[in-house]
Amino acid sequence: MNILIKNISEEGIKADALILPFFEDYSPDIYSDLDSIIGGLIRRIINSKEFTGKQNQSSLLHVRNINSDRILLIGLGKQSEITSDRMRQAGGRAFFSLRETGVKDIAVSSKLFEHLPKSFIASQKPVFYFIEGGLLSLYKFEKYRKSENNKEIKTATILGSDKDIALKWLQTVVNAVNFAKDLINTPSNDMTPAVLSDLAKSISGKKVKVKVLERKDIEKEGMGAYLSVSKGSAEPPKFIVVEYKGGKGDPLALVGKSITFDSGGISLKPAEGMEKMKYDMSGGASVLAVIKAVSELDLAVNIVGILPATENLPGGSASKPGDIVKSITGKTIEIINTDAEGRLALADAMGYAIKYYKPKAVIDIATLTGACSVALGSEAIAIMGNNTELMGKLKKASEETYERAWQMPLYDEYKDYIKSDAADIKNSGGKNGSLVTAGYFLKEFAGDTPWVHLDIAGTAWNDKDKPYMPKGATAIGVRLLLTFLKEV
Ligand code: BES
Ligand code: MN
Ligand code: ZN
């Protein structure tokens, strides 16, 4: 979609539909000139209380005497309660419903955003969030079935004199989110480790180098923990390393869990809902999407992205509970539960990153535990780490993007939970504290390197449509990490 900024009045713009945002409890008379031209229709619908400006409420009017054929009224809720995310939601509702009606060219009035309360502070221009929500809401996954509705919005024009809106950033970020969603929504028969590694190679460029370690290389590197996850599958593992060099100094390592299908292995998962385990590579998809966007935006940073891709299946040569494997760090791990496979793959990926890249920090992003959704539902990422400053920066980016993160503790006492009788550590401490013991397990592989863990198990998939997040993959973490990277 084309996004333009034009300094044209609401009554002057020619569009199929003109979007007018409203507050519920505060209505400056900013649309009154326009309203008198169209015969007071807005006043009438407001007086009738059919439209009150409640959050995400909308009304479509067909109008005469101005250059646009339709006006969409969209509610932002109470002025005093406005947040950037409420703007995203309203934008999402507005764009989504207008696409349904089949219009091609839309325009957005940004006048109301001049009337935000003093308490409203955001790093982007207010209209940015409205458009961001609008664009995100339009994602469709049509790889296997075209919807009957092939309607598309062609252009969105922002009305106003402020040209200083970060449109390139916005479009690159939204494209990256959509790219990650496509990868995650693709079922595992078409999103194997090999396919994922080819996709990674496709983002190679002047500043992006992609290297893929095959099974024999992985063996040679001594990544026995990661390798053990792949043993039950006929699909070969692919250890994907994506280097982006846009600046000076040690890189930031981004490690994304990339289990293209998690059946649980010999510790098999129940059948119900297992089809969703194609999204167990969400972390890896987000890392890839982030690096893609970083290279398109040409950010002055160094990043190494690591995607230890594999399936977790219960084949005849699969790992079995009780098996002991050795990681790249030399630590031995007793596999108590083959379904706690993510931490095995991540331990080696983190170990590899630290051994070869001396990263200034490691951030891992992973659909790591069912307990994450038990604790936080689908509202927040669980964030843990060994470095307060790094966590603080991520939390800030998380507020800005509303990809919210809630901190969980990594008390030393959790060490006991994952003590093994036979190896240095075991991969499961059982049910109690399963979210934090998974984090603690990873901490043991971070060593002294500043490290943060993002458990996205609860947030990476939407079972229901949300105002600007259609159901399916959410690609959570992409906006968060890009916003974080912009600030560092
Ligand atoms: N991929 C799962 C976690 C998961 C579950 C993500 C549901 C999204 C939705 C992970 O590999 C897993 O199976 N974790 C186990 C660990 C346990 C065996 C210690 C879990 O959380 O049940
Ligand atoms: Mn698992
Ligand atoms: Zn998993």
Average pLDDT over residues 430-439: 97
> By C-alpha distance, which of 303, 260, 325, 286 is closest to 454?
286
118 band by pLDDT with thresholds 50, 70 and 90? very high
What is the topology classification, in CATH, of domain 172-487? Aminopeptidase (3.40.630)
Write down the pLDDT at residue 433: 98
Q: Which atom of ligand 1 is nearest to the CA of 257?
A: 1
- For 106, residues 6+ apart whose C-beta sits below 8 A from its C-beta are 15, 16, 17, 18, 19, 95, 98, 153, 155, 156, 157
24 SS3 class: coil
Which active-site residues does the annotation give?
Answer: 269, 343
DSSP state of 153: -
C-alpha of residue 434 to centroid of ligand 1, in Å: 9
Residue nearest to atom 16 of ligand 1 (CA): 340
C-alpha of residue 223 to centroid of ligand 1, in Å: 21
Average pLDDT over residues 369-386: 98
> Token pair for residue 350?
């983190």
Q: Which atom of ligand 1 is nearest to the CA of 262?
A: 1
Q: Which atom of ligand 1 is nearest to the CA of 269?
A: 13
Number of the ligand closest to the Cα of 264: 2
356 band by pLDDT with thresholds 50, 70 and 90? very high
411 SS3 class: coil
- With vertex at residue 320, the alpha carbon angle to CA 315 and CA 326, rounded to the nearest 5 degrees, is 110
326 SS3 class: strand
CB atoms within 10 A of CB 122: 15
C-alpha of residue 165 to centroid of ligand 1, in Å: 41
Residue nearest to atom 22 of ligand 1 (CA): 370
Q: Are 336 and 318 in contact (CB under 8 A)?
A: no
Q: Are 249 and 359 in contact (CB under 8 A)?
A: no
Residue range(s) in the chain whose domain bears CATH number 3.40.220.10 = 2-162
Write down the pLDDT at residue 7: 97
Write down the pLDDT at residue 404: 98
Task: State whether CATH 3.40.220.10 applies to domain 2-162.
Answer: yes
What tens digit of pLDDT does each residue of 247-287 get?
Answer: 999 999 999 999 999 999 999 999 999 999 999 999 999 99
Distances (CA, A) of 85 to 3, 129, 426, 468, 487: 20, 7, 41, 10, 20
218 band by pLDDT with thresholds 50, 70 and 90? very high
Residue nearest to atom 3 of ligand 1 (CA): 369
331 band by pLDDT with thresholds 50, 70 and 90? very high
Q: Are 180 and 367 in contact (CB under 8 A)?
A: no
Quick check: 237 pLDDT over 80? Answer: yes
373 band by pLDDT with thresholds 50, 70 and 90? very high
DSSP state of 190: T
Write down the pLDDT at residue 146: 87
Residue nearest to atom 5 of ligand 1 (CA): 370
For 194-260, give the secondary structure using H, E and C. HHHHHHHHHCCCCCEEEEEECHHHHHHCCCHHHHHHHCCCCCCCEEEEEEEECCCCCCEEEEECEEE
What tens digit of pLDDT does each residue of 84-96 get?
Answer: 999 999 999 999 9
- For 124, residues 6+ apart whose C-beta sits below 8 A from its C-beta are 84, 165, 166
Rounded CA separation 323/333 (Å): 8
> By C-alpha distance, which of 334, 331, 287, 293 is closest to 309?
287
Distances (CA, A) of 306 to 19, 105, 184, 238, 410: 43, 41, 17, 11, 24
Quick check: 212 pLDDT over 90? Answer: yes
Quick check: 145 pLDDT over 80? Answer: yes
pTM attached to this predicted model: 0.98
Q: Is 422 left (phi over 0), alpha (psi -120 to 50) or beta?
A: alpha
Q: Are 281 and 181 in contact (CB under 8 A)?
A: no
Q: Are 73 and 27 in contact (CB under 8 A)?
A: no
Q: How far is CA 279 from the centre of its chain?
A: 12
Q: Which atom of ligand 1 is nearest to the CA of 312?
A: 11
Say if residue 73 is exposed, middle or buried (CB neighbours under 10 Å; 0-12, 13-18, 19+): buried
- For 122, residues 6+ apart whose C-beta sits below 8 A from its C-beta are 84, 129, 400
72 SS3 class: strand
Quick check: 149 pLDDT over 80? Answer: no
C-alpha of residue 9 to centroid of ligand 1, in Å: 53
Beta bridge partners of 472: 462
Q: DSSP string spanning 40-96?
A: SHHHHHHHTTS----TT-EEEEE--SSS-SEEEEEE---GGG--HHHHHHHHHHHHH
Rounded CA separation 478/480 (Å): 5
Quick check: 153 pLDDT over 80? Answer: yes
Residue range(s) in the chain whose domain bears CATH number 3.40.630.10 = 172-487
Write down the pLDDT at residue 148: 79
> Token pair for residue 251?
């890189």
Rounded CA separation 464/281 (Å): 20
Number of the ligand closest to the Cα of 273: 1
Residues with CB under 6 A from ligand 1: 262, 280, 337, 339-342, 367, 369-371, 428, 434, 457
318 SS3 class: coil
346 SS3 class: helix
Rounded CA separation 96/2 (Å): 16
Write down the pLDDT at residue 348: 99
What tens digit of pLDDT does each residue of 185-195 get?
Answer: 999 999 999 99
C-alpha of residue 164 to centroid of ligand 2, in Å: 46
